[in-house]
A and B are shown apart, each in its own frame.
Chain A
């Protein structure tokens, strides 16, 4: 019970930091506006008819999955900031388990990522993305799974970073290719074999495809847009989450004490 209290306190700290940061709050509103309204809108007008499906809905699902996944992963890097500001010392000398600390961080960054995508969903309704209350209800567990996956992925990456600057470089290197390999803005039904192989090991691919599987379910475009059945995506994400989480936590704890 006390470990759960500690997890809640660590998670609440991250959400509180987000709410108190005006810059991040403004970015949370401006970013979806720019992405869906400007990018999605222009692509819909110029490419929508040619590709034969709703490009705004395609862009929305891509950015929704990407934001949930990437925001949680990047949020985990605040453990590096904490280490530099030495708040991590306060966490790591406390008697709670290291797993509780990391789970609290992932939960907190999940809450932040979900708070960040709420304006996304509002914009989607305004731009008439075909979302029903059932879609929104189904997107809740999808969002949680996407965030947990991002958190585990971020934890694994954390072990390769020494400071905030390194984290920015590594994140650019790791996430930018995934935008293309996961089909964030363009379909990836046809890829050369080497890019297809890279796409298969990109965690973002399964997050975005699962989001699209929910939103496009029952539409005529489903076969054109969605790569794999939602059950397959869920199974792959669970497997990746388990592997990344165990490996990431083990490496992180070892690195923290065996310097």
Chain B
């Protein structure tokens, strides 16, 4: 229900043209004690309500530091960060109520059962009073737990000791815990690291369903570039700086172009035609045409020679990402 209330409030904001960013980061700088360089160096970005935002970058780029500051576990050296309009340093407690976090490293207490981990979370977030046993907890808590356990497919396993749960089940348990307090923003710090393919797929299916049901804002950091392909916005960090920011489509189009692979029996004629068309191309067994703003249809229609090969290749976010990092290293 709180999700529904929040959704309608968001709709009102949008109707009035008053979309306020849920995450605002302006000129963020973090230098660790005794460090000689900034781990995060002048980072700025905004995330609108309901967006799926992906923060990408190689190891040491500053992703986890940025997430730690956004989730109030680390103080910034300078800059301004607000979550749902609350300042992360001055209003840390309010920020913590708005945020759900799934950490890069598992943060479950292995000595407890899954339910006991969730119960501690619910009490820490002031949702329910403390009771020493599950059966003494309020009915609303028990219902919410059962519903979430069923949704993520954990079912009755939520009552097992965490030690006896598989890696995928523990991640699901962390998701249940992160959602108990109906956060406006869900931070996912490399949530699929250490998960097998099936568990990864299940997790993303559930997160997709969650977005459809609750319209929650998601902030993801990941090394799995395919996970960020479906994001509304990506931000690529390198050495603490923002090196690309925008929709995955925009980032890809700016840094990697669609390619057309063609060949013909009369290669000399095809070569002459491509020169006449003034399109950039290279020859390496076949002709590779970089579609710098043109469509494949436009180029093929202008070629009269019979083609023996016709293939297009769209760049992936990974292509763009690797180009950006290579450019940075140069």
Q: Which residues of A contact B (CB under 8 A)?
A: 1-2, 5-6, 8-10, 12-13, 16-17, 20-21, 85-87, 89-97, 256-259
Q: Do A95 and B93 touch (CB < 8 A)?
A: yes
B82 within 8 A of A: no
B110 within 8 A of A: yes
Q: Taking A17-B112, A93-B71 as given, write out 13 further A-B residue pairs in contact, using a Cβ cutoff of 8 Å, ordered by the A residue number.
A: A10-B124, A13-B120, A16-B111, A16-B112, A17-B109, A17-B111, A87-B107, A89-B101, A90-B108, A90-B120, A92-B73, A93-B73, A259-B74
A sample of 25 cross-chain residue pairs with beta-carbon separation below 8 angstroms, ordered by A number, consists of A5-B123, A5-B129, A8-B130, A9-B119, A9-B130, A12-B130, A12-B132, A13-B112, A13-B116, A16-B111, A17-B112, A85-B106, A85-B109, A89-B73, A90-B107, A90-B121, A93-B73, A94-B96, A94-B124, A95-B96, A95-B124, A95-B126, A96-B124, A257-B73, A258-B33
Docked pose: A94 CA to B178 CA in angstroms? 11
Docked pose: A20 CA to B113 CA in angstroms? 11
Task: State which of B32, B73, B97 has its C-beta within 8 Å of the C-beta of A95.
Answer: B97
User: Which chain B residue shows the least CB distance to A88?
Assistant: B107
Docked pose: A97 CA to B128 CA in angstroms? 17
Docked pose: A68 CA to B130 CA in angstroms? 26
Q: Do B116 and A16 touch (CB < 8 A)?
A: yes
Ranked nearest first, the 9 interchain pairs of A and B with the lowest CB-CB distance are A94-B124, A2-B126, A95-B96, A5-B130, A9-B123, A8-B130, A86-B107, A86-B105, A257-B75
B53 within 8 A of A: no
Q: Do B124 and A91 touch (CB < 8 A)?
A: yes
In the bound complex, residues from chain A placing their C-beta under 8 Å from that of B121 are: 90, 94
Q: Do A87 and B73 touch (CB < 8 A)?
A: no
B152 within 8 A of A: no
In the bound complex, residues from chain B placing their C-beta under 8 Å from that of A2 are: 126
Docked pose: A12 CA to B72 CA in angstroms? 26
In the bound complex, residues from chain A placing their C-beta under 8 Å from that of B119 are: 9
In the bound complex, residues from chain B placing their C-beta under 8 Å from that of A1 are: 129
In the bound complex, residues from chain B placing their C-beta under 8 Å from that of A86 are: 103, 105-107
Task: State which of A12, A13, A17, A93 has its C-beta within 8 Å of the C-beta of B96.
Answer: A93
Question: B residues 119-144 with Cβ under 8 Å of A?
Answer: 119-121, 123-126, 128-130, 132
User: Which chain B residue shows the least CB distance to A13?
Assistant: B120
User: Which chain B residue shows the least CB distance to A256?
Assistant: B73
Docked pose: A96 CA to B94 CA in angstroms? 10
B99 within 8 A of A: yes
Q: Do A93 and B101 touch (CB < 8 A)?
A: yes
Docked pose: A189 CA to B141 CA in angstroms? 59
Minimum distance in angstroms from B294 CB to a CB of chain A: 49
Q: Do A89 and B126 touch (CB < 8 A)?
A: no
In the bound complex, residues from chain A placing their C-beta under 8 Å from that of B103 are: 86, 89-90
Task: State which of B75, B123, B177 has its C-beta within 8 Å of the C-beta of A6.
Answer: B123
Q: Do A87 and B96 touch (CB < 8 A)?
A: no
Q: Do B120 and A9 touch (CB < 8 A)?
A: yes
User: Which chain B residue shows the least CB distance to A20?
Assistant: B111
User: Which chain B residue shows the least CB distance to A255?
Assistant: B33
Task: State which of B32, B99, B111 has its C-beta within 8 Å of the C-beta of A93.
Answer: B99
Docked pose: A92 CA to B95 CA in angstroms? 12
Docked pose: A257 CA to B68 CA in angstroms? 10
Given contacts A8-B130, A93-B99, A258-B33, contact A13 B109 (CB under 8 A): yes
In the bound complex, residues from chain A placing their C-beta under 8 Å from that of B96 are: 93-95
Docked pose: A91 CA to B108 CA in angstroms? 11
Minimum distance in angstroms from A164 CB to a CB of chain B: 15
Docked pose: A21 CA to B163 CA in angstroms? 14
Docked pose: A10 CA to B71 CA in angstroms? 21
Q: Indicate with 1 or 0, residue by residue over B78-117, a CB within 8 angstroms of chain A CB atoms.
A: 0000000000000001101101010101111111100010
Q: Which of A16, A87, A93 has the most CB of B within 10 A?
A: A93
Q: Do A6 and B33 touch (CB < 8 A)?
A: no
Docked pose: A259 CA to B64 CA in angstroms? 14
User: Which chain A residue shows the least CB distance to B71?
Assistant: A93
Question: B residues 206-227 with Cβ under 8 Å of A?
Answer: none
Docked pose: A112 CA to B64 CA in angstroms? 35
In the bound complex, residues from chain A placing their C-beta under 8 Å from that of B112 are: 13, 16-17
Q: Do A93 and B132 touch (CB < 8 A)?
A: no
Docked pose: A90 CA to B73 CA in angstroms? 10
In the bound complex, residues from chain A placing their C-beta under 8 Å from that of B73 are: 89, 92-93, 256-257
Minimum distance in angstroms from B75 CB to a CB of chain A: 5
User: Which chain A residue shows the least CB distance to B128?
Assistant: A5
In the bound complex, residues from chain A placing their C-beta under 8 Å from that of B128 are: 5
In the bound complex, residues from chain B placing their C-beta under 8 Å from that of A21 are: 111
